[in-house]
Amino acid sequence: MYHCARPENRHKIKGLLISGVIACVIGGTTEPLEFLFLFVAPALYLIHALLTGLGFTIMAVLGVTIGNTDGNVIDFVVFGILHGLSTKWYLVPVVAAVWFAGVLRHLPLRHHPL
């Protein structure tokens, strides 16, 4: 979202995104970021919801078994990485990179600058 913002708006967007990312990574609370782009780009939010569901489906098909996770980095480490390779935790960053860096970068946000 930062890269797609107009250059004159990037400093405004940066603060919102950093605080939202910290809340997501540490606490697993995604609402700050989701509300941000729900109100700025509703079509992007719909696409995000569909891709997230598809991502969970692909994780299940790939056999990723990180149990009891709220989606934060602490649970990912405790229930994924520390349980060894049997959880297939290493596939999570691969799929996430494709989803969020590859797919969302070229969808409606590209045509609807902030």
Q: What is the pLDDT of residues 84-102, one digit of tens each?
A: 999 999 998 888 888 777 7
- CA-nearest of 8, 20, 34 to 104 is 34
Tokens encoding 60: 């299940």
- CA-nearest of 100, 103, 91 to 61 is 91
Q: Are 23 and 29 in contact (CB under 8 A)?
A: yes
pLDDT at residue 44 is higher than 80: no
Q: Collect all residues with Cβ–Cβ distance below 8 Å to 50 and sequence separation of at least 6.
A: none
pTM exceeds 0.75, yes or no = no
Give the amino acid at 66: I
Which of the four pLDDT bands, split at 50, 70 and 90, describes residue 74? confident
